Every structure is written in C-alpha cells, then in structure tokens.
Amino acid sequence: MSFAIPPAEFKNPRAEHDFVGRTCSISAVGAYVPERRLTNADLEKMVETSDEWIVSRTGIRERRIAADNEMTSDMAAKAACQVLSKANVSADQVQLIIVATITPDMPFPATACLVQDKIGATNAAAFDLEAACSGFIYGLEIGQQFIMSRTYDTVLVIGAEKLSSIIDWKDRDTCVLFGDGAGAVLMQNRTNTHGLLTACLGSDGSKAPLLSMPGGGCQHPATPESVAARLHYLKMDGREIFKNAVNAMQTAAKNALARCDLDISQIKCIIPHQANKRILIAVGERLGANSGQVFMNLDRYGNTSAASVAIALNEAVERGRIERGDLILMLVFGAGLTWGAAVIEW
C-alpha cells in the first residue's frame, strides 16, 4: 500500500526503487549547550593568539565548555529530554537511540546506553556511531532505515561532544576552534510529507592522518610515553582539512540536489557543519547560494563536531528560519575523512 504523499516540485529519489513504504521525518529537534563560555579574550590569556586572528580566520567569537563533572552523556540526555518534551513523546516510547560522538564518556560501554538509562528509555536499543563531525547525518540516514523498514516507529538521533576533553589547550592551531554541546532529533513517520529525501554519504580513509586523535586505541594504548607525547589530543592539518572540506561538501551537496531534481534556489535554508566561516562561505558560493540561505551560529559555539548541525538546526527552527514544508540542505564534513549532504522536506 502506498501512502498519501503530496505531489511536489522535486523528485523523491526513493521512487526510483519502487518505493511504496512509509517516509521518515524529523518530528522534533532540541539542543543543549553548557553554561560556561570561553571567549577569544580568554584564549588570548592561554596561547599566543588574538581575537582579531580568530574572528578573521574562523568567524568564532566564543564557545561553550562543559563543567568538569558534565559528561557527553549528560549533555546528550538533556538535548534528548528537550526533544521528547517538544514532540510530546514519553521516553518509554523510544525504540532506538543512536549517539554520534568522538568523545564518548568512555571507550565502552556506548554513551547511547548511558543516555538510555539517564532518560529512562526502558524499551530502547542503543548504540554509538563514530563518523566524527559527519556523525549526525550518518545517524539520520541510519535512523531513517529503521523507520522506513518498519522495524521501529520512534528513533532518537543525538550528536553530542565534550571536545574540550581532547583538545590540547597548548596548541593554538586547534584549541581556538572547538566547543562542547549536544543536539538531538526525534525521527518518526509523519503522513503527508516526504521527510528525509536523500543523504549522499562518503569517506576517504587514505586521508585519515589529516585529522585524528592517535592515542587511546589499540595502536597507541595509554602509557606514560603516549601521554608525554601528547597523543591523546586531537591533531589536525588545518590547511588540508580546509581544502578537502570545501570540495567534499560542495560535491555531496550537488549530488544530493541532483538526485532530487532540485536547484539550490529551491532550498530555503542550508545548515552546514559549523567548522569555519570561510569554509561555509566558500561552499555557499560554489553552490550558487545567496548568503541568506547559509545558516551560521559558529560565532557563539565554534565547532562542536557531531553536535554542530543538530544545534544549528534547532536554532534555525527556533528562530523561524525553517518552517514545515520548507526544503533544507544539511552538509557535514569531518575526520575519517567522512562527509555527507542530506535534503529534507521539513
């Protein structure tokens, strides 16, 4: 039986595969950021940098930093509770929790299981997803599969990070860029809408060394030597990441739009991974977008990795930049390398 999805000015790529199932939508979005603000002026006291350099090279003015006793799972649980309250769904109705993160509370068990307990989702399966800053769109695509296949009706996808725990606060090349926070969405079938139309995902592991945390895994387990060599901190080749991010995000975006027979002018709002203002401007220009289409909030939060797009989406919705029925384009890029673009009828 096919569902009553209204005709649209775009192609639903799933129709190419004789799609007759149900669609998957985001029924609510929420976010949480810690109270503590770390401003560029604060960073000037920690490393040799300046507000002028940080703002002109990145667009970032401040970022949020979690309290010492505030874990990734705590922030994820707060974002999740907000989503459930907005959607009027109780925690015991959640059937699956996916947490995208590179800063789990611990290597195992999964942070998603800790969130399951903290929010009281007594009927949910739970697992973590590691696709770095691309994790949120990877999570949406996975969540969608469970909804469309009718395996589950109610899926929580959360991006959450305590990046401050893996930042080398002596390294000015990286410490000015990142912040902590969490964003969450509830995925369900909503009738009369196409929802998540497509997600173009990609990866290139040959460029893994460009952005990584070398220590803490089986290659470099924690030892006094690995700690002394500062292997348990995020390492990045900023210039190469910059170039790869611009290329990958614009290519993924073009592919996603082409799959849906959409032109960039039909997109109400582009929600990109909030890495660097110059990256987002370059991607927007290459897509032929006008500056008003590209949503940015990195000036206040910096790069929050897997949480970034979810936090931005929540703010765009709260500010009225996105309304039901609008077409939105989400873009991500991160370590792996990984990247993705998703088109959604909101």
Residues carrying an active site annotation: 133, 273, 303
Site residues, ligand ACO (CB under 6 A): 49, 53-54, 57-58, 132-133, 172-173, 176, 211, 236, 238-239, 241-242, 245, 275-276, 279, 303, 305, 333-335
To the nearest whole angstrom, how small is the minimum distance from the Cβ of residue 239 to ligand ACO?
Answer: 5
Question: 121 vs 332, which CB is nearer to ligand ACO?
Answer: 332
- Whether residue 293 contacts residue 284, with contact meaning beta carbons closer than 8 Å, is answered with yes
CA distance 151 to 218: 34
Q: Which is nearer to ligand ACO, 187 or 335 (CB)?
A: 335
CB of 289 to ligand ACO, least distance (A): 19
Nearer to ligand ACO, 21 or 216 (CB): 216
- Burial label for 51, CB within 10 Å (0-12, 13-18, 19+), is middle
Give least dist CB 309 to ligand ACO, A: 11
d(CA 323, CA 321): 7
**Whole-angstrom distance, CA of residue 184 vs CA of residue 84:** 9
- Compare residues 82 and 303 and give the one whose CB is closer to ligand ACO: 303
* Adjacency order of strands within the sheet including 195-203: 195-203, 338-345, 327-334, 269-272
How near is the Cβ of 177 to ligand ACO at its closest, in Å?
Answer: 6
Nearest CB to ligand ACO, comparing residues 100 and 211? 211
The residue assigned the tokens 């209204």 is 6
C-beta closer to ligand ACO: residue 98 or 246: 246
CA distances from 181 to 193, 244, 305 (A): 30, 25, 9
Least separation in angstroms between CB 335 and ligand ACO: 5
For residue 69, count CB atoms less than 10 angstroms from its CB and return exposed for 0-12, middle for 13-18, buried for 19 or more: exposed
In the complex, least distance from residue 217 CB atom to ligand ACO, rounded to whole angstroms: 17
